[in-house]
Structure formats: structure tokens, C-alpha cells
């Protein structure tokens, strides 16, 4: 299977809560589009409003929703994109997904807590292979050790699939418990100021090795599993 990520933007400058409601209402229709093998929706909705201060914006427009969707072949995306076009504007990317921390439950519905989606560019100072080695080979464990994440998905952008898409190189999805929306102690998995300083410093130092902070966007969102991704064998059984 191949994974596509769509960063979503309101086409009519709707208020954020209205845009979130529009996309949530259309979720099942999107997930039932021809060729879709699994779909997850991310929304900057009222559930994560306490985490608004965690947003980081360095690009011209910040997406307020995201769809992760799986196809047997990315060229099967026409039906989904036709529906998306009627609902919003979007940037599309073909990605390869690595999941160093798998969520215990993949049950359809809202995933507890909040999810951070982070979109960033590879610094020109790093070659692609070196960048991947630092990010996935070293930083991954630092991120897991210094934060309270219970789900962690790293998406390496293969190429953009829509005209004018920002030149992101990586897109991360990180799940945190609800208390992490407002508590730095929970977010950084510590119990006191000393632990907070140590974990923040370790995380920031590690991040600086593979990204530039003026080329990153971060949005706290709710994660909704709309259609659970099926295995390849399940696809074959269903198609026979």
C-alpha cells in the first residue's frame, strides 16, 4: 500500500470550528471513496483548543486539518480528491511511513488526548541520507524518551502531488495524553523542574541537528480513525 497525506485549508475562510465540523461531517464519505484502504482525519477542533498555544507557524498558511489515507496505488486517489475539492483546498504528498511507537488501540473513533502534526523541511546543510540517519536513526529515541507520546508516526515525503505544495521533507504525527495539552510536565514526561529542563534541552538539542526552527509548522489536533487500515491479506480476501 501507499500512504498519501492531505493538508487541508478552508476555501471560504470559514471559522475554525465550522471548518472542523464540515470536514468531520464529510469523513465517512471521504473514507468510502473508491480505492481507499484506510483513513485517519486530524482536526484542530474544540477538543484541543487548550493546546492552541502550542501552534508554530513559519509558512504563509497553517493547515487546520489533515487526512492520512492509504491506497494500493496512489494513482487511485481521483475519487477522494474530487470530494475534497468540493469541500476545501489542499496540498497532497506521497509519503513513506515509519511507526516507531505504535498506538495500543486502532479502534475507529476519536483517539484520546491530542496529536501534534509537525511539518518541516530538510536543512540545505544536510544531504538526504544524512538527514534521515539523524532524524530516524538518532532523534527517534530521544523524542520517545523525553516526551509522553503513546503513538509516533514519521512520514518522509517522497514528492508533492499537488501544485504549489510547500516543500516539506517530513511530516510527523505524535499522540499525547490529554493533560499534555496544558501541562509541560506531562508533555515532557517529567515530575519536577529539573526533569523538565533536562528533557526540554535534550529534545531541542536533538531537533536542531536535523531541522531549522524557521522551517517548521506545528498544529495540535484531534485524531479520528475513520477507516481502520486493513492488511494486504484482508484486501485480497475481500476482493476474492
Task: Give the pTM.
Answer: 0.94
Angle at 63 between CA 80 and CA 199, to 5 degrees: 120
pLDDT of 19 over the 90 cut: yes
How high does pLDDT run on average in the chain?
A: 94
Please give the pLDDT value at position 13. 85
Cell numbers at 109, concatenated? 473513533
Q: DSSP label at 230?
A: P
Angle at 217 between CA 117 and CA 139, to 5 degrees: 65
- Residue ranges of domains in the chain: 2-239
Please give the pLDDT value at position 238. 45
Q: Three-state SS for 154?
A: strand
pLDDT in tens, 71-91: 999 999 999 999 999 999 999
Q: How many of the other CB atoms lie within 10 Å of CB of 204? A: 11
- Written out in words, the top-level CATH class of the domain with range 2-239 is alpha beta
pLDDT in tens, 134-183: 999 999 999 999 999 999 999 999 999 999 999 999 999 999 999 999 99
pLDDT in tens, 93-106: 999 999 999 999 88
**pLDDT band at 229; cut points 50, 70, 90:** confident
Strand partners, 119: 171, 217
Amino acid at each position: 500500500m501507499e500512504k498519501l497525506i492531505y493538508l487541508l485549508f478552508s476555501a471560504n475562510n470559514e471559522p475554525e470550528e465550522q471548518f472542523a465540523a464540515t470536514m468531520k461531517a464529510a469523513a465517512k464519505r471521504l473514507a468510502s471513496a473508491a480505492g481507499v484502504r484506510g483513513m485517519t482525519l486530524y482536526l484542530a477542533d474544540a477538543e484541543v483548543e487548550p493546546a492552541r498555544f502550542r501552534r508554530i507557524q513559519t509558512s504563509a498558511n497553517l493547515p487546520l486539518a489533515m487526512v492520512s489515507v492509504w491506497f494500493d496505488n496512489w494513482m487511485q486517489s481521483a475519487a477522494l480528491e474530487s470530494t475534497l475539492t468540493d469541500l476545501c483546498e489542499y496540498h497532497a504528498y506521497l509519503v513513506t511511513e515509519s511507526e516507531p511507537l505504535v498506538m495500543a488501540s486502532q479502534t475507529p473513533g476519536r483517539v484520546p488526548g491530542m496529536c501534534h502534526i509537525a511539518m518541516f523541511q530538510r536543512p540545505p546543510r544536510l544531504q538526504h541520507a544524512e538527514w534521515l540517519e539523524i532524524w530516524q536513526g538518532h532523534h527517534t529515541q530521544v523524542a520517545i524518551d523525553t516526551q509522553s507520546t503513546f503513538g509516533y508516526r514519521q512520514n518522509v515525503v517522497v514528492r508533492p502531488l499537488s501544485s504549489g505544495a510547500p516543500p516539506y521533507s517530513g511530516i510527523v504525527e505524535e499522540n499525547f495524553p490529554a493533560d499534555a495539552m496544558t501541562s509541560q510536565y506531562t508533555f515532557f514526561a517529567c515530575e519536577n523542574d529539573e526533569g523538565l529542563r533536562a528533557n526540554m534541552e535534550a529534545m531541542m538539542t536533538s531537533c536542531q541537528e536535523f531541522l531549522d526552527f524557521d522551517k517548521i509548522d506545528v498544529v495540535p489536533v484531534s485524531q479520528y480513525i475513520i477507516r481502520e487500515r486493513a492488511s494486504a491479506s484482508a484486501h485480497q480476501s475481500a476482493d476474492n
